[in-house]
Amino acid sequence: MSLPPLVEPAAELTIDEVRRYSRHLIIPEVGMAGQKRLKNAKVLVIGAGGLGSPALLYLAAAGVGTLGIVEFDTVDESNLQRQIIHGQSDVGKSKAQSARDSILETNPNTNVVLHEVRLDNDNVFEIFEQYDLIVDGTDNFATRYLVNDAAVLLGKPYVWGSIFRFDGQVSVFWAEHGPCYRCLYPEPPPPGMVPSCAEGGVLGVLCASVGAAQVTEAIKLLTGIGDPSLGRLNIYEALDLNWRALKVRKDPNCAICGENPTVTELIDYESFCGAITEEAADAAVGSTISVKQLSEWIKLKDNGEKDFQLIDVREPNEYEINRIPGSVLIPKADFQTGVALEKLPQDKQLVFHCKSGVRSAEVLAIVKGAGFSDAVHVGGGVVAWVDQIDPSQPAY
């Protein structure tokens, strides 16, 4: 379905702008009118991370006049493998400011507006209202549902993208003309089911494919060229170098854009998406030790004053990156299938850890259910261990 352009054309382009955008201007479908629409456009990008990096650079290069950035975080060395808007000298700096510097280097005509906050219920409307179009480059479900609901309630379109390992997804959501994100995904995945990129990894260059596809959709919407991916879920598989599209229908029972909506205002997205299952949270109460305690326990064990078995429930490739001394590796999946339970020592206290404490809490729930009532897990996992106890090991 083609839609009218989102934006009216700006009054004119300067001589410099005509030179800069000449390769756009000679595309008949874009032409002066299309480029002037881009100049007049106000686009908000949420997150200057994996997707936001290419999205912001290409939106700026394309001549989008005003670019807003919502981002609260600072640049970490592990971001540089994919977040190409930031460089080595930006490590430790505000991502929003680092992104602005790169954008202005790419196109000094861009009016860059920084929102150096975490997007939340209190600021989302005020921020969204200032823009014609939103590009979601975030990596967590709580923010995705917040973005969707705020966009539906304000009647705004947005371009959504997601990445995981080798695969990406892109779609356009606009409840007034088609489905919304909740029509496609009515509920977030159960906590722990879908690992984040920090947990599961992502091929850096995948961000370029997916971020560029998001910008393509943004340009189509702003200028009215082509058919935007409204009602179309585009799926990219990097290993096959293949895009395919699935139809997405507007759900008449959608909680927010359906015929009888039950969501009429913003909700508590953190608890809606729950970072951890209820069973895992219950199991962890009173059975969580800190990395400092673990380090004491390891000393006592070395002196023969305490006995326990430390079990790392991450994946083998994570175990190769860093590990806590004395741990044995039994991945979480082996507890879920039950095969791990037979391997567990019956005569020792069990201490579980993972990367950050989510997977180990889930395993704790399983082993406590199997009768290992004195088992504990390590809050903050190996991330906290490297941070607080052994900075000589690499973090990831």
Ligand X SMILES: Nc1ncnc2c1ncn2[C@@H]1O[C@H](COP(=O)(O)OP(=O)(O)OP(=O)(O)O)[C@@H](O)[C@H]1O
Query: Binding ligand X by CB under 6 A: which of 35, 102, 110, 138?
Result: 138
Which single residue is written with the structure tokens 């997601």?
Answer: 162
Q: Which stretch binds ligand X (CB under 6 A): 15-23, 25-33, 193-201, 212-220?
A: 193-201
CB 8 within 8 Å of CB 38: no
If one counts every other C-beta atom within 10 angstroms of the C-beta of residue 262, the result is 10
| Cα–Cα distance, 142 to 266 (Å, whole number) | 11
Q: For Zn ion, which is the closer residue by CB, 153 or 197?
A: 153
Q: What angle do CA 191, 197, 203 make, to 5 degrees?
A: 145
Based on the shown chain and the rule CB under 6 A, indicate whether residue 299 belongs to the binding site for ligand X.
no
Q: Which stretch binds Zn ion (CB under 5 A): 201-209, 257-265, 329-337, 360-368?
A: 257-265
Query: Binding ligand X by CB under 6 A: which of 20, 24, 37, 95?
Result: 95
Site for Zn ion in 183-212 (CB under 5 A): 183
CB of 230 to Zn ion, least distance (A): 12
Q: Which stretch binds ligand X (CB under 6 A): 41-49, 225-233, 304-312, 354-362?
A: 41-49
CB of 150 to Zn ion, least distance (A): 13
Q: Which stretch binds Zn ion (CB under 5 A): 22-30, 125-133, 246-254, 318-326?
A: 246-254
Both tokens of 83, joined, read 């977040």
327 phi and psi angles, rounded to 5 deg: -85, 150
Q: Which residues pair with 43 in a beta bridge?
A: 67, 133
Both tokens of 279, joined, read 């069973």
Q: What torsion do the CA atoms of 332, 337, 342, 343 make, to the nearest 10 degrees? A: -30
For residue 162, how far is the Cα from the chain centroid? 7
Based on the shown chain and the rule CB under 5 A, indicate whether residue 254 belongs to the binding site for Zn ion.
yes
Query: Binding ligand X by CB under 6 A: which of 32, 80, 198, 344?
Result: 198
Helix (H, G, I), strand (E, B) or coil at 371: coil
CB of 179 to Zn ion, least distance (A): 6
Q: Which of 286, 316, 289 is nearest to 389 (CA)?
A: 289
Helix (H, G, I), strand (E, B) or coil at 61: helix
Give the DSSP letter of residue 148. H
Chosen from ligand X, Zn ion, none, partner binding at 182 (C-beta under 5 to 8 Å by type)? Zn ion
Which residue out of 183, 197, 207, 254 is catalytically annotated? 197
Based on the shown chain and the rule CB under 6 A, indicate whether residue 380 belongs to the binding site for ligand X.
no
Which residue out of 180, 254, 273, 354 is catalytically annotated? 354
| Cα–Cα distance, 153 to 283 (Å, whole number) | 38
207 is catalytic: no
Chosen from ligand X, Zn ion, none, partner binding at 254 (C-beta under 5 to 8 Å by type)? Zn ion
273 is catalytic: no
Residues that bind ligand X (CB under 6 A): 46-50, 70-73, 79, 83, 95, 118-119, 137-140, 143, 196-198
Residues that bind Zn ion (CB under 5 A): 180, 182-183, 254, 257
